[in-house]
Amino acid sequence: MTGIFKVAKNQLMLLQNGAEFFPQLCADIEAAQHSIYLETYLFAADDIGRLVADALQHAAGRGVMVRVLLDGYGSAELPKQWVDELRAAKVEVQWYRRDISPFTFSRSRMRRLRRLHRKLAVMDNKVAFVGGINITSDVCKDENFSACRFDYAVRVQGAVAQQIQGAMLHLWGIVSWVNFRRRSKEIGGFVLGRPKHAVDSAITFLLRDNVGHRRDIESAYLKAIARAQREIIIANAYFLPGRAFRLALKKAVRRGVRVVLLLQGKVEYRLQHYATHALYDQLLAAKIEIYEYQASYLHAKVAVVDGEWATVGSSNIDPFSLLLAREANLAIHDPGFAGELRASLLTAIAHDAVRIEEGSNVSRSWIDRLSARISYGLVRWVIGLLGYGRSI
């Protein structure tokens, strides 16, 4: 990806995979003069984690305020030594919800599945990154893949970066109060307030949380699908949409819209993978095209509608993202940007994916079919336990 697209008062750059994302992220960290905010679900102790950690420490060493917010579950394996090293270099590090046990299933404990799944970064309130790429190497060394994860991020320079930093400041303040029991109208020099979306005729910064933005990302998808006239392409790592979403896609097909899904072909997380398979028959019967990505692990959370509207971010189309996690997406109405993302997705579909034909589930083993039913049932049970049972 090399194009720079001017959208309203912003410049956008689409970045594919870590090979494009991490050099640009580190370059902007090195260029920062005043402040750096970074949020991630997964910060791994690998070569990429070291690259980013070193860049953050260098920035802090030259007097830049650096704040890193890590999810307590996704980054749980980050060694204490790494965190101590960051803090010793004057990088502020906080954890989002560390107290979670996967072996407790009470409703109150299950609510701790509400994770920080956003992948955001802002430098100097001017340059920001929004996407699905974690701080971890996407180069697979143990299998015959050229890259472990197929994913995207957007670099945005302009007015939207200010809105993104505002949302990050808001969450930093909440976590500061929770972690250190400091109640104040002002934390770290910034007044806490409810974050707002950056709304423009061409670009919108979308949040999902459990207070004021519960359905915003899903609603943006549904509005774009309802307006579609020619084509909908969705690439999603964990695709388990609710009834309203499935109905919207079926209605689009009935009015003559081509609907294409690029989904996970490799088994990374069995529960989500097989639960998605439970929906294949009804989606294929509705004439929705399904392709499974084979070249590596699919980690993308993107969509293009009519080659004009696109979204890139951290939110999967499953109940864990749409009902539980904190997520962030950009929705962009621009033919140039949407066209570049569309071309990238069509290339992946043509060269790195296989089409699932209607009736192909007959060829799956009875174990796979049983796994799909059990996995889907388990997901529904978990979501029902949290009070969202009717959503899927």
pLDDT digits (tens, 9 = 90+) for 234-259: 999 999 998 999 999 999 999 999 99
User: Is the confidence at residue 146, as pLDDT, over 70?
Assistant: no
223 is catalytic: no
Nearest to 55 by CA among 39, 76, 31, 74: 31
Of 28, 119, 138, 170, which one is the catalytic site residue? 119
Based on the fold, state whether residues 244 and 146 are members of the same structural domain.
Answer: no
Based on the fold, state whether residues 165 and 291 are members of the same structural domain.
Answer: no
pLDDT digits (tens, 9 = 90+) for 352-371: 999 999 765 544 665 666 66
Distance (Å) of CA 304 to CA 13, 53, 96, 261, 314: 16, 33, 31, 11, 15
How many Å apart are CA 153 and CA 137, to the nearest integer?
15
Which residues lie closer than 8 Å to 103 by C-beta, 6 or more apart? none
User: Is the confidence at residue 189, as pLDDT, over 50?
Assistant: no
What is the per-residue pLDDT for 276? Answer: 82
301 is catalytic: yes
Pick from 191, 224, 240: which residue ends a domain? 191
Of 90, 223, 266, 306, which one is the catalytic site residue? 306
User: Is the confidence at residue 185, as pLDDT, over 50?
Assistant: no
User: Is the confidence at residue 66, as pLDDT, over 70?
Assistant: yes
Based on the fold, state whether residues 181 and 208 are members of the same structural domain.
Answer: no
Pick from 191, 215, 242: which residue ends a domain? 191
Based on the fold, state whether residues 375 and 243 are members of the same structural domain.
Answer: yes
Nearest to 176 by CA among 59, 37, 49: 37
Residue 20 included in any domain: yes
What is the per-residue pLDDT for 384? Answer: 54
Residue 336 included in any domain: yes
pLDDT digits (tens, 9 = 90+) for 18-29: 999 999 999 999
Residue 196 included in any domain: no
299 is catalytic: yes
pLDDT digits (tens, 9 = 90+) for 195-232: 555 455 799 999 999 888 989 999 999 999 999 999 99
pLDDT band at 183 (very low <50, low <70, confident <90, very high): very low
User: Is the confidence at residue 8, as pLDDT, over 70?
Assistant: yes
Q: Strand 190-191 vs strand 309-313: parallel, antiparallel, or unpaired? A: unpaired
Pick from 191, 211, 226: which residue ends a domain? 191
Which residues lie closer than 8 Å to 144 by C-beta, 6 or more apart? none
Based on the fold, state whether residues 250 and 373 are members of the same structural domain.
Answer: yes
pLDDT band at 377 (very low <50, low <70, confident <90, very high): low
Of 126, 170, 213, 299, which one is the catalytic site residue? 299
Based on the fold, state whether residues 370 and 247 are members of the same structural domain.
Answer: yes
Q: What is the mean pLDDT of residues 288-295?
A: 96
How many Å apart are CA 326 and CA 209, to the nearest integer?
5
Q: Are 173 and 188 in contact (CB under 8 A)?
A: yes
Residue 33 is part of which domain span?
4-191
What is the per-residue pLDDT for 157? Answer: 97
Structure tokens at 195: 């974050």
pTM of this prediction? 0.88
Residue 198 included in any domain: no
Residue 176 included in any domain: yes
CB atoms within 10 A of CB 193: 11
Residue 197 included in any domain: no
Count of domains forming the chain = 2
Of 117, 213, 273, 277, which one is the catalytic site residue? 117
Nearest to 279 by CA among 317, 332, 226, 314: 317
Distance (Å) of CA 293 to CA 166, 233, 237, 251: 36, 14, 10, 25
Q: What is the mean pLDDT of residues 297-311?
A: 97
Q: Kindly report the CATH number assigned to the domain that includes residue 145.
A: 3.30.870.10
Mean pLDDT computed over every residue of the chain: 86
251 is catalytic: no
What is the per-residue pLDDT for 363? Answer: 47
User: Is the confidence at residue 274, as pLDDT, over 70?
Assistant: yes
Of 213, 277, 301, 333, which one is the catalytic site residue? 301
Of 58, 90, 124, 352, which one is the catalytic site residue? 124
151 is catalytic: no
